[in-house]
Structure 1
Amino acid sequence: MSESHGKFVWYELLTTDPAKAATFYSAVIGWEAKDASIPGVPYTLLSINGESAAGLMEMPETLRATGAKPLWLGYVGVDDVDKIAALATAKGAVVHKGPADIPNVGRFAVLTDPQGALFALFKSHGGESASLPQLRNPGHGGWHELIAANAQDAFAFYSSLFGWTKAEAIDMGPMGSYQLFAHNGVPIGGMMTCPQAQAPTGWTYYFNVRDIKDTLTRINASGGTVQMGPQEVPGGSWIIQGLDPQGGRFAVVAPPKE
Protein backbone atom coordinates (compact mmCIF):
# COMPACT_ATOMS: atom_id res chain seq x y z
CA MET A 1 0.00 0.00 0.00
CA SER A 2 1.43 3.39 -0.98
CA GLU A 3 2.17 6.26 1.40
CA SER A 4 -0.61 8.35 -0.14
CA HIS A 5 -3.34 5.69 0.27
CA GLY A 6 -5.68 7.04 2.91
CA LYS A 7 -4.12 10.51 3.04
CA PHE A 8 -5.97 13.67 2.05
CA VAL A 9 -4.13 14.84 -1.05
CA TRP A 10 -6.30 17.65 -2.47
CA TYR A 11 -9.02 20.14 -1.56
CA GLU A 12 -11.44 21.71 -4.01
CA LEU A 13 -13.98 24.48 -3.55
CA LEU A 14 -17.21 24.26 -5.52
CA THR A 15 -18.60 27.78 -5.51
CA THR A 16 -21.13 30.07 -7.14
CA ASP A 17 -18.59 32.83 -7.88
CA PRO A 18 -15.07 31.52 -8.56
CA ALA A 19 -13.50 34.96 -9.07
CA LYS A 20 -14.77 36.43 -5.81
CA ALA A 21 -14.01 33.23 -3.92
CA ALA A 22 -10.42 33.29 -5.20
CA THR A 23 -10.04 36.87 -4.00
CA PHE A 24 -11.41 36.01 -0.55
CA TYR A 25 -9.27 32.94 0.07
CA SER A 26 -6.15 34.57 -1.32
CA ALA A 27 -6.59 37.35 1.24
CA VAL A 28 -7.41 35.05 4.15
CA ILE A 29 -5.13 32.04 3.59
CA GLY A 30 -2.39 33.72 1.56
CA TRP A 31 -2.89 31.68 -1.60
CA GLU A 32 -1.93 32.79 -5.08
CA ALA A 33 -4.69 32.13 -7.62
CA LYS A 34 -3.78 31.00 -11.13
CA ASP A 35 -5.90 29.87 -14.07
CA ALA A 36 -5.48 26.14 -14.71
CA SER A 37 -8.47 25.49 -16.96
CA ILE A 38 -8.68 22.55 -19.32
CA PRO A 39 -10.91 22.59 -22.44
CA GLY A 40 -14.52 23.01 -21.32
CA VAL A 41 -13.67 23.09 -17.60
CA PRO A 42 -12.69 26.47 -16.08
CA TYR A 43 -10.46 25.84 -13.03
CA THR A 44 -8.43 27.97 -10.63
CA LEU A 45 -5.32 26.60 -8.93
CA LEU A 46 -4.47 27.92 -5.45
CA SER A 47 -0.83 27.75 -4.39
CA ILE A 48 1.48 29.02 -1.67
CA ASN A 49 5.25 29.43 -1.88
CA GLY A 50 5.12 27.77 -5.28
CA GLU A 51 3.35 24.65 -3.96
CA SER A 52 -0.13 23.73 -5.16
CA ALA A 53 -2.51 23.52 -2.20
CA ALA A 54 -6.09 23.52 -3.49
CA GLY A 55 -8.33 24.39 -6.39
CA LEU A 56 -11.69 25.94 -7.06
CA MET A 57 -14.31 25.78 -9.74
CA GLU A 58 -17.91 26.76 -10.37
CA MET A 59 -20.44 24.52 -8.69
CA PRO A 60 -22.06 22.17 -11.22
CA GLU A 61 -25.65 23.03 -12.08
CA THR A 62 -26.78 19.57 -11.01
CA LEU A 63 -25.50 20.30 -7.50
CA ARG A 64 -27.01 23.79 -7.42
CA ALA A 65 -30.38 22.31 -8.35
CA THR A 66 -30.36 20.34 -5.08
CA GLY A 67 -30.14 23.58 -3.11
CA ALA A 68 -26.59 22.87 -1.99
CA LYS A 69 -24.45 25.78 -0.83
CA PRO A 70 -20.83 26.26 -1.91
CA LEU A 71 -18.65 23.63 -0.28
CA TRP A 72 -15.15 22.28 0.09
CA LEU A 73 -14.51 18.76 -1.20
CA GLY A 74 -11.62 16.69 0.13
CA TYR A 75 -9.84 14.12 -2.04
CA VAL A 76 -8.35 11.04 -0.37
CA GLY A 77 -5.48 9.33 -2.13
CA VAL A 78 -6.01 5.66 -3.02
CA ASP A 79 -4.06 3.00 -4.88
CA ASP A 80 -7.03 2.03 -7.08
CA VAL A 81 -9.98 4.42 -7.53
CA ASP A 82 -12.25 1.85 -9.18
CA LYS A 83 -11.62 -0.79 -6.52
CA ILE A 84 -12.20 1.57 -3.58
CA ALA A 85 -15.29 3.11 -5.21
CA ALA A 86 -16.76 -0.36 -5.66
CA LEU A 87 -15.93 -1.29 -2.06
CA ALA A 88 -17.51 1.95 -0.80
CA THR A 89 -20.65 1.27 -2.84
CA ALA A 90 -20.92 -2.22 -1.39
CA LYS A 91 -20.82 -0.65 2.07
CA GLY A 92 -23.65 1.79 1.34
CA ALA A 93 -21.94 4.76 -0.31
CA VAL A 94 -23.28 6.41 -3.47
CA VAL A 95 -21.03 7.31 -6.41
CA HIS A 96 -22.04 10.67 -7.92
CA LYS A 97 -19.20 11.16 -10.41
CA GLY A 98 -16.77 8.75 -12.00
CA PRO A 99 -14.59 6.86 -11.70
CA ALA A 100 -13.16 9.01 -14.48
CA ASP A 101 -9.86 10.34 -15.76
CA ILE A 102 -8.63 13.93 -15.65
CA PRO A 103 -6.33 14.15 -18.69
CA ASN A 104 -2.65 14.20 -17.68
CA VAL A 105 -3.60 14.52 -14.00
CA GLY A 106 -5.20 11.44 -12.49
CA ARG A 107 -8.30 9.35 -11.88
CA PHE A 108 -11.04 10.34 -9.44
CA ALA A 109 -14.51 9.62 -8.15
CA VAL A 110 -16.92 11.67 -6.02
CA LEU A 111 -19.13 9.90 -3.48
CA THR A 112 -21.33 10.37 -0.47
CA ASP A 113 -20.76 8.03 2.46
CA PRO A 114 -23.67 5.99 3.91
CA GLN A 115 -24.64 8.97 6.10
CA GLY A 116 -24.59 11.50 3.26
CA ALA A 117 -21.19 13.18 3.71
CA LEU A 118 -19.48 14.11 0.43
CA PHE A 119 -15.88 13.02 -0.25
CA ALA A 120 -13.69 12.10 -3.21
CA LEU A 121 -11.08 9.53 -4.23
CA PHE A 122 -7.96 10.30 -6.25
CA LYS A 123 -4.98 8.56 -7.81
CA SER A 124 -2.35 10.51 -9.68
CA HIS A 125 -1.34 9.38 -13.15
CA GLY A 126 2.21 10.24 -12.13
CA GLY A 127 2.33 7.63 -9.39
CA GLU A 128 3.40 8.25 -5.81
CA SER A 129 4.04 11.90 -4.94
CA ALA A 130 7.62 12.56 -3.91
CA SER A 131 6.70 15.33 -1.47
CA LEU A 132 3.21 15.26 -0.02
CA PRO A 133 2.59 18.42 2.04
CA GLN A 134 3.18 18.08 5.76
CA LEU A 135 0.19 18.44 8.05
CA ARG A 136 1.24 21.81 9.51
CA ASN A 137 2.58 23.57 6.40
CA PRO A 138 1.01 27.07 6.08
CA GLY A 139 -1.64 27.21 3.38
CA HIS A 140 -2.15 23.46 3.26
CA GLY A 141 -4.83 21.27 4.81
CA GLY A 142 -4.07 20.84 8.50
CA TRP A 143 -7.02 18.97 9.98
CA HIS A 144 -10.03 17.01 8.73
CA GLU A 145 -13.20 16.88 10.78
CA LEU A 146 -16.32 14.80 10.21
CA ILE A 147 -19.57 15.55 12.03
CA ALA A 148 -21.65 12.42 11.45
CA ALA A 149 -25.08 11.14 12.34
CA ASN A 150 -23.24 8.20 13.93
CA ALA A 151 -19.47 8.65 14.31
CA GLN A 152 -18.85 5.02 15.25
CA ASP A 153 -20.42 3.78 12.03
CA ALA A 154 -18.64 6.48 10.04
CA PHE A 155 -15.25 5.45 11.40
CA ALA A 156 -15.93 1.80 10.57
CA PHE A 157 -16.79 2.80 6.99
CA TYR A 158 -13.76 5.00 6.35
CA SER A 159 -11.28 2.75 8.13
CA SER A 160 -12.36 -0.14 5.90
CA LEU A 161 -11.53 1.96 2.82
CA PHE A 162 -8.42 3.82 3.90
CA GLY A 163 -6.92 1.88 6.80
CA TRP A 164 -7.41 4.75 9.25
CA THR A 165 -6.89 3.82 12.89
CA LYS A 166 -8.27 5.28 16.10
CA ALA A 167 -6.04 7.63 18.07
CA GLU A 168 -7.03 9.57 21.21
CA ALA A 169 -10.71 10.01 22.09
CA ILE A 170 -11.41 13.39 23.68
CA ASP A 171 -14.30 13.69 26.11
CA MET A 172 -16.40 16.70 25.05
CA GLY A 173 -18.81 16.46 27.99
CA PRO A 174 -22.48 16.70 26.99
CA MET A 175 -21.43 16.91 23.32
CA GLY A 176 -20.01 13.38 23.44
CA SER A 177 -16.65 11.98 22.35
CA TYR A 178 -14.35 13.47 19.71
CA GLN A 179 -12.52 10.52 18.15
CA LEU A 180 -9.19 11.30 16.52
CA PHE A 181 -8.21 9.14 13.55
CA ALA A 182 -4.75 8.48 12.19
CA HIS A 183 -3.05 7.74 8.88
CA ASN A 184 0.09 5.61 9.27
CA GLY A 185 0.07 6.37 12.99
CA VAL A 186 -0.21 10.17 12.63
CA PRO A 187 -3.49 11.82 13.71
CA ILE A 188 -4.95 13.72 10.76
CA GLY A 189 -8.50 14.46 11.90
CA GLY A 190 -11.41 13.79 14.20
CA MET A 191 -14.97 12.50 14.08
CA MET A 192 -17.91 12.99 16.37
CA THR A 193 -21.63 12.32 16.40
CA CYS A 194 -23.56 15.49 15.65
CA PRO A 195 -25.05 16.92 18.87
CA GLN A 196 -28.72 17.84 18.64
CA ALA A 197 -29.47 21.24 17.11
CA GLN A 198 -25.83 21.67 16.11
CA ALA A 199 -24.20 22.26 12.72
CA PRO A 200 -25.12 20.04 9.77
CA THR A 201 -23.27 16.79 9.21
CA GLY A 202 -20.39 16.52 6.77
CA TRP A 203 -16.67 17.18 6.41
CA THR A 204 -14.94 20.40 7.43
CA TYR A 205 -11.36 21.04 6.29
CA TYR A 206 -9.04 23.26 8.34
CA PHE A 207 -6.33 25.15 6.45
CA ASN A 208 -3.15 26.15 8.24
CA VAL A 209 -2.50 29.83 8.93
CA ARG A 210 0.38 31.42 10.83
CA ASP A 211 -1.51 33.67 13.25
CA ILE A 212 -5.13 33.39 14.38
CA LYS A 213 -5.63 37.09 15.24
CA ASP A 214 -4.28 38.25 11.90
CA THR A 215 -6.49 35.73 10.10
CA LEU A 216 -9.55 36.90 12.04
CA THR A 217 -8.86 40.44 10.85
CA ARG A 218 -8.49 39.25 7.26
CA ILE A 219 -11.77 37.28 7.39
CA ASN A 220 -13.72 40.27 8.67
CA ALA A 221 -12.08 42.68 6.21
CA SER A 222 -12.77 40.38 3.26
CA GLY A 223 -16.49 39.85 3.81
CA GLY A 224 -16.40 36.50 5.60
CA THR A 225 -18.59 35.56 8.55
CA VAL A 226 -17.10 34.03 11.71
CA GLN A 227 -19.36 31.35 13.16
CA MET A 228 -17.05 30.08 15.89
CA GLY A 229 -13.81 31.25 17.40
CA PRO A 230 -11.11 32.11 17.74
CA GLN A 231 -11.13 29.09 20.04
CA GLU A 232 -8.28 27.19 21.63
CA VAL A 233 -8.46 23.42 21.20
CA PRO A 234 -6.71 20.56 23.02
CA GLY A 235 -3.01 20.75 22.25
CA GLY A 236 -2.98 24.55 22.19
CA SER A 237 -3.84 25.26 18.56
CA TRP A 238 -6.43 27.91 17.69
CA ILE A 239 -9.29 27.53 15.23
CA ILE A 240 -11.92 29.61 13.48
CA GLN A 241 -14.93 28.26 11.60
CA GLY A 242 -16.82 30.54 9.27
CA LEU A 243 -18.61 31.20 6.00
CA ASP A 244 -17.04 32.76 2.93
CA PRO A 245 -18.93 35.56 1.09
CA GLN A 246 -20.72 32.98 -1.10
CA GLY A 247 -21.89 30.99 1.94
CA GLY A 248 -19.29 28.20 1.78
CA ARG A 249 -18.22 26.74 5.10
CA PHE A 250 -14.49 26.90 5.82
CA ALA A 251 -12.10 26.65 8.77
CA VAL A 252 -8.56 27.63 9.68
CA VAL A 253 -6.11 26.43 12.32
CA ALA A 254 -3.11 28.26 13.76
CA PRO A 255 -0.30 27.01 16.01
CA PRO A 256 -0.27 27.68 19.77
CA LYS A 257 0.39 31.26 20.78
CA GLU A 258 3.90 31.93 22.00
Structure 2
Amino acid sequence: MLGTDFRTGSPVWLDLGSPDLDRTAAFYGAVFGWQFTSAGPDTGGYGFFQQDGATVAAAGRLTEESADPAWVTYFRTDGIRATVDAVTSAGGAVRVEPITMGEASMAQLTDPQGAEFAVIQSGTGLQRASQDNTLVWVELHVPDPEAALAFYHRLFGWRAAQMSAPGMTYRVLSIADGDQQEGAFGGVAPLQEGQEARWVPYFAVPDADAAAEAVRDNGGTVLMPPSDIPDVGRVAWLTDPAGAVFAVLKPNPRQAAR
Protein backbone atom coordinates (compact mmCIF):
# COMPACT_ATOMS: atom_id res chain seq x y z
CA MET A 1 0.00 0.00 0.00
CA LEU A 2 0.97 3.60 -0.52
CA GLY A 3 3.23 5.12 2.14
CA THR A 4 5.21 8.26 2.91
CA ASP A 5 8.69 6.86 2.23
CA PHE A 6 8.86 8.74 -1.05
CA ARG A 7 11.15 7.53 -3.80
CA THR A 8 11.28 8.06 -7.56
CA GLY A 9 7.83 7.41 -9.01
CA SER A 10 6.01 7.46 -5.67
CA PRO A 11 2.72 9.35 -5.40
CA VAL A 12 3.95 12.21 -3.24
CA TRP A 13 1.20 14.84 -3.32
CA LEU A 14 -2.48 15.16 -4.16
CA ASP A 15 -4.52 18.28 -4.73
CA LEU A 16 -7.95 19.30 -5.91
CA GLY A 17 -8.95 22.09 -8.27
CA SER A 18 -12.20 23.55 -6.97
CA PRO A 19 -14.55 26.33 -8.10
CA ASP A 20 -15.73 26.92 -4.50
CA LEU A 21 -13.18 26.29 -1.75
CA ASP A 22 -15.58 26.98 1.10
CA ARG A 23 -18.04 24.38 -0.14
CA THR A 24 -15.21 21.98 -0.92
CA ALA A 25 -13.79 22.29 2.59
CA ALA A 26 -17.21 21.72 4.13
CA PHE A 27 -17.87 18.66 1.96
CA TYR A 28 -14.61 16.86 2.66
CA GLY A 29 -14.82 17.84 6.31
CA ALA A 30 -18.20 16.10 6.49
CA VAL A 31 -17.09 13.00 4.56
CA PHE A 32 -13.56 12.45 5.92
CA GLY A 33 -13.34 14.72 8.96
CA TRP A 34 -10.61 16.85 7.35
CA GLN A 35 -9.78 20.39 8.40
CA PHE A 36 -8.81 22.92 5.70
CA THR A 37 -5.91 25.26 6.50
CA SER A 38 -4.83 28.12 4.26
CA ALA A 39 -1.27 28.05 2.92
CA GLY A 40 -1.09 31.83 3.35
CA PRO A 41 -2.43 35.10 1.95
CA ASP A 42 -0.22 35.02 -1.14
CA THR A 43 -1.27 31.58 -2.41
CA GLY A 44 -4.58 32.49 -4.06
CA GLY A 45 -6.61 30.47 -1.61
CA TYR A 46 -4.49 27.30 -1.85
CA GLY A 47 -4.49 25.29 1.34
CA PHE A 48 -4.06 21.93 3.01
CA PHE A 49 -6.50 19.27 4.12
CA GLN A 50 -5.30 18.04 7.48
CA GLN A 51 -6.07 15.18 9.83
CA ASP A 52 -4.97 15.78 13.42
CA GLY A 53 -2.51 18.38 12.13
CA ALA A 54 -1.00 16.09 9.46
CA THR A 55 -1.40 17.08 5.80
CA VAL A 56 -3.29 14.44 3.80
CA ALA A 57 -4.20 16.40 0.63
CA ALA A 58 -4.53 19.96 -0.66
CA ALA A 59 -6.89 22.14 -2.68
CA GLY A 60 -6.88 25.39 -4.64
CA ARG A 61 -9.11 27.43 -6.88
CA LEU A 62 -9.42 26.48 -10.53
CA THR A 63 -7.31 28.89 -12.54
CA GLU A 64 -8.61 28.06 -16.03
CA GLU A 65 -12.21 28.79 -17.04
CA SER A 66 -12.38 25.63 -19.16
CA ALA A 67 -10.88 23.37 -16.49
CA ASP A 68 -13.05 20.79 -14.76
CA PRO A 69 -12.87 20.21 -11.01
CA ALA A 70 -10.54 17.25 -10.50
CA TRP A 71 -8.09 15.59 -8.17
CA VAL A 72 -4.50 15.58 -9.47
CA THR A 73 -1.88 13.07 -8.34
CA TYR A 74 1.76 14.22 -8.19
CA PHE A 75 4.56 11.69 -8.66
CA ARG A 76 8.09 12.22 -7.44
CA THR A 77 10.84 12.79 -9.98
CA ASP A 78 14.54 13.33 -9.44
CA GLY A 79 14.88 15.34 -12.67
CA ILE A 80 11.87 17.43 -13.54
CA ARG A 81 13.18 18.85 -16.81
CA ALA A 82 14.09 15.42 -18.14
CA THR A 83 10.69 14.05 -17.10
CA VAL A 84 8.81 16.87 -18.84
CA ASP A 85 10.88 16.40 -22.00
CA ALA A 86 10.17 12.65 -21.93
CA VAL A 87 6.43 13.34 -21.70
CA THR A 88 6.40 15.59 -24.76
CA SER A 89 8.66 13.31 -26.80
CA ALA A 90 6.26 10.42 -26.12
CA GLY A 91 3.21 12.37 -27.31
CA GLY A 92 2.00 13.78 -24.00
CA ALA A 93 1.42 17.43 -23.19
CA VAL A 94 2.58 20.02 -20.67
CA ARG A 95 -0.26 21.96 -19.03
CA VAL A 96 2.00 23.92 -16.67
CA GLU A 97 5.72 24.24 -17.32
CA PRO A 98 8.06 23.54 -14.38
CA ILE A 99 7.81 26.19 -11.68
CA THR A 100 9.58 26.50 -8.34
CA MET A 101 7.58 26.84 -5.14
CA GLY A 102 9.77 27.04 -2.06
CA GLU A 103 12.06 24.01 -2.11
CA ALA A 104 9.96 22.11 -4.64
CA SER A 105 9.69 22.22 -8.41
CA MET A 106 6.48 20.99 -10.06
CA ALA A 107 4.89 20.62 -13.49
CA GLN A 108 1.36 19.71 -14.63
CA LEU A 109 1.21 17.16 -17.45
CA THR A 110 -1.13 15.03 -19.57
CA ASP A 111 -0.23 11.55 -20.76
CA PRO A 112 -0.69 10.53 -24.44
CA GLN A 113 -4.15 9.04 -23.71
CA GLY A 114 -5.47 12.16 -22.00
CA ALA A 115 -5.04 11.37 -18.29
CA GLU A 116 -3.83 14.38 -16.31
CA PHE A 117 -1.12 14.08 -13.66
CA ALA A 118 1.72 16.10 -12.20
CA VAL A 119 5.33 15.66 -11.12
CA ILE A 120 7.20 17.21 -8.26
CA GLN A 121 10.91 17.32 -7.44
CA SER A 122 11.05 17.54 -3.68
CA GLY A 123 11.88 15.51 -0.61
CA THR A 124 8.62 16.32 1.15
CA GLY A 125 5.02 15.35 0.54
CA LEU A 126 1.89 14.05 2.21
CA GLN A 127 2.38 13.42 5.91
CA ARG A 128 -0.06 10.55 6.28
CA ALA A 129 -1.30 7.80 3.95
CA SER A 130 -2.92 4.35 4.01
CA GLN A 131 -4.78 5.12 7.21
CA ASP A 132 -8.49 5.78 7.65
CA ASN A 133 -9.58 8.84 5.62
CA THR A 134 -6.25 9.24 3.82
CA LEU A 135 -4.94 8.37 0.36
CA VAL A 136 -4.39 4.64 -0.02
CA TRP A 137 -4.24 3.93 -3.79
CA VAL A 138 -4.19 5.69 -7.17
CA GLU A 139 -5.68 4.12 -10.27
CA LEU A 140 -5.26 4.94 -13.95
CA HIS A 141 -8.11 4.31 -16.40
CA VAL A 142 -7.09 4.48 -20.08
CA PRO A 143 -8.13 2.92 -23.41
CA ASP A 144 -4.77 1.15 -23.89
CA PRO A 145 -3.25 -0.07 -20.58
CA GLU A 146 -0.21 -1.61 -22.26
CA ALA A 147 0.71 1.67 -23.94
CA ALA A 148 0.24 3.46 -20.62
CA LEU A 149 2.55 1.01 -18.85
CA ALA A 150 5.26 1.63 -21.45
CA PHE A 151 4.84 5.41 -21.14
CA TYR A 152 5.04 5.55 -17.35
CA HIS A 153 7.84 2.98 -17.21
CA ARG A 154 9.87 5.32 -19.37
CA LEU A 155 9.19 8.19 -16.96
CA PHE A 156 9.55 6.47 -13.59
CA GLY A 157 10.71 2.89 -14.13
CA TRP A 158 7.47 1.49 -12.67
CA ARG A 159 6.94 -2.25 -12.57
CA ALA A 160 3.58 -3.91 -13.22
CA ALA A 161 2.09 -7.25 -12.20
CA GLN A 162 -1.11 -8.67 -13.66
CA MET A 163 -3.95 -9.78 -11.45
CA SER A 164 -7.42 -11.04 -12.25
CA ALA A 165 -10.33 -8.71 -11.58
CA PRO A 166 -14.02 -9.01 -12.41
CA GLY A 167 -14.34 -8.63 -16.20
CA MET A 168 -10.80 -7.36 -16.82
CA THR A 169 -7.08 -7.82 -16.46
CA TYR A 170 -5.79 -5.43 -13.83
CA ARG A 171 -2.18 -4.26 -13.57
CA VAL A 172 -0.76 -3.49 -10.12
CA LEU A 173 1.88 -0.76 -10.20
CA SER A 174 4.94 -0.53 -7.98
CA ILE A 175 7.95 1.75 -7.84
CA ALA A 176 11.18 0.68 -9.50
CA ASP A 177 13.25 -0.20 -6.44
CA GLY A 178 12.65 -2.42 -3.42
CA ASP A 179 10.16 -5.22 -2.90
CA GLN A 180 7.49 -5.17 -5.61
CA GLN A 181 4.60 -5.97 -3.27
CA GLU A 182 5.66 -3.51 -0.58
CA GLY A 183 6.25 -0.85 -3.25
CA ALA A 184 2.78 -1.20 -4.79
CA PHE A 185 0.87 2.05 -4.83
CA GLY A 186 -1.74 1.84 -7.61
CA GLY A 187 -3.09 0.13 -10.66
CA VAL A 188 -4.08 0.42 -14.30
CA ALA A 189 -7.49 -0.63 -15.61
CA PRO A 190 -9.00 -0.53 -19.10
CA LEU A 191 -11.33 2.39 -19.72
CA GLN A 192 -15.01 1.52 -19.51
CA GLU A 193 -17.64 2.90 -21.88
CA GLY A 194 -18.64 6.45 -20.97
CA GLN A 195 -15.56 7.10 -18.83
CA GLU A 196 -12.79 9.62 -19.43
CA ALA A 197 -9.11 8.76 -19.18
CA ARG A 198 -8.06 9.79 -15.68
CA TRP A 199 -6.16 9.04 -12.50
CA VAL A 200 -8.57 8.29 -9.65
CA PRO A 201 -7.48 8.64 -6.01
CA TYR A 202 -8.76 6.09 -3.49
CA PHE A 203 -9.16 7.05 0.15
CA ALA A 204 -9.19 4.40 2.86
CA VAL A 205 -12.32 4.46 5.01
CA PRO A 206 -13.55 2.39 7.95
CA ASP A 207 -16.96 1.96 6.29
CA ALA A 208 -17.50 2.38 2.53
CA ASP A 209 -21.28 2.38 2.86
CA ALA A 210 -21.23 5.15 5.46
CA ALA A 211 -18.82 7.18 3.32
CA ALA A 212 -21.09 6.87 0.27
CA GLU A 213 -24.07 7.95 2.37
CA ALA A 214 -22.13 10.97 3.68
CA VAL A 215 -21.23 11.93 0.10
CA ARG A 216 -24.88 11.77 -0.96
CA ASP A 217 -26.06 13.68 2.13
CA ASN A 218 -23.59 16.50 1.48
CA GLY A 219 -24.32 17.17 -2.19
CA GLY A 220 -22.03 14.67 -3.90
CA THR A 221 -22.91 11.82 -6.23
CA VAL A 222 -22.50 8.05 -5.97
CA LEU A 223 -21.23 6.88 -9.38
CA MET A 224 -20.75 3.26 -8.32
CA PRO A 225 -22.41 2.10 -5.10
CA PRO A 226 -20.31 0.20 -2.55
CA SER A 227 -19.33 -3.21 -3.92
CA ASP A 228 -17.11 -6.02 -2.68
CA ILE A 229 -14.01 -6.69 -4.80
CA PRO A 230 -12.44 -10.11 -4.14
CA ASP A 231 -9.07 -9.93 -2.37
CA VAL A 232 -9.29 -6.13 -2.25
CA GLY A 233 -12.16 -4.84 -0.13
CA ARG A 234 -15.32 -2.78 -0.44
CA VAL A 235 -15.14 0.02 -3.00
CA ALA A 236 -17.35 2.93 -4.10
CA TRP A 237 -16.83 5.55 -6.81
CA LEU A 238 -18.06 9.04 -5.95
CA THR A 239 -17.95 12.71 -6.88
CA ASP A 240 -17.91 15.81 -4.74
CA PRO A 241 -20.56 18.54 -5.32
CA ALA A 242 -18.45 20.12 -8.08
CA GLY A 243 -18.04 16.83 -9.95
CA ALA A 244 -14.48 15.82 -9.00
CA VAL A 245 -14.20 12.01 -9.12
CA PHE A 246 -12.70 9.99 -6.29
CA ALA A 247 -13.15 6.57 -4.71
CA VAL A 248 -13.23 5.07 -1.24
CA LEU A 249 -11.93 1.69 -0.16
CA LYS A 250 -12.49 -0.34 2.96
CA PRO A 251 -9.57 -2.78 2.58
CA ASN A 252 -10.19 -6.37 3.55
CA PRO A 253 -8.22 -7.39 6.68
CA ARG A 254 -5.50 -9.26 4.79
CA GLN A 255 -4.96 -6.35 2.39
CA ALA A 256 -4.89 -3.77 5.18
CA ALA A 257 -2.26 -5.75 7.05
CA ARG A 258 0.24 -5.64 4.19
Which TM-score applies when normalising by structure 2? 0.87
Aligned to 1:188: 185
Deviates more, 1:245-254 or 1:7-16: 245-254
Alignment of 1:134-213 (within 5 A): 134=129, 136-173=130-167, 176-183=168-175, 184=177, 185=180, 186-195=183-192, 197-213=193-209
Provide runs of 4+ in structure 1 moved above 6 Å.
Answer: none
Answer yes or no: is the 8 Å Cα contact 1:172–1:178 preserved in 2: no
Aligned to 2:120: 122
Aligned to 2:35: 32
Question: Which of 14, 17, 21 is 2:20 aligned to?
Answer: 17
What is the CA distance between 1:168 and its match in structure 2?
Answer: 3.1
Look up the SS of the partner of 2:242 in the other structure.
coil
Answer yes or no: is the 8 Å Cα contact 1:29–1:207 preserved in 2: no
What amino acid maps onto 1:88 in structure 2?
A: V
Alignment of 1:42-121 (within 5 A): 42-61=45-64, 64-65=65-66, 68-102=67-101, 104-121=102-119
What is the CA distance between 1:205 and its match in structure 2?
Answer: 0.7
Count of aligned residue pairs for this structure pair: 245
Answer yes or no: is the 8 Å Cα contact 1:149–1:201 preserved in 2: yes
Structure 2 regions of 5+ residues with no counterpart? none
Question: Which of 237, 242, 248 is 1:246 aligned to?
Answer: 242
1:228 aligns with 2:231: no
Counterpart-to-counterpart distance in 2, 1:92 and 1:216: 37
What is the CA distance between 1:248 and its match in structure 2?
Answer: 1.3
What is the CA distance between 1:41 and its match in structure 2?
Answer: 2.2
When the two chains are superposed, the root-mean-square deviation of aligned CA atoms in Å is 2.1
Q: Deviations over 1:63-120 (max 9, x none)?
A: x32xx42100010011111121112221111111121101x24100001001111000
Look up the SS of the partner of 2:68 in the other structure.
coil
Structure 1 regions of 5+ residues with no counterpart? none
What is the CA distance between 1:250 and its match in structure 2?
Answer: 1.5
Counterpart-to-counterpart distance in 1, 2:125 and 2:203: 21
What is the CA distance between 1:236 and its match in structure 2?
Answer: 3.9
Counterpart-to-counterpart distance in 1, 2:125 and 2:75: 16
Counterpart-to-counterpart distance in 1, 2:76 and 2:159: 16
Which TM-score applies when normalising by structure 1? 0.87
Counterpart-to-counterpart distance in 2, 1:242 and 1:70: 13
Q: Equivalent pairs: percent with the same residue? A: 29
Deviates more, 1:178-187 or 1:70-79: 178-187
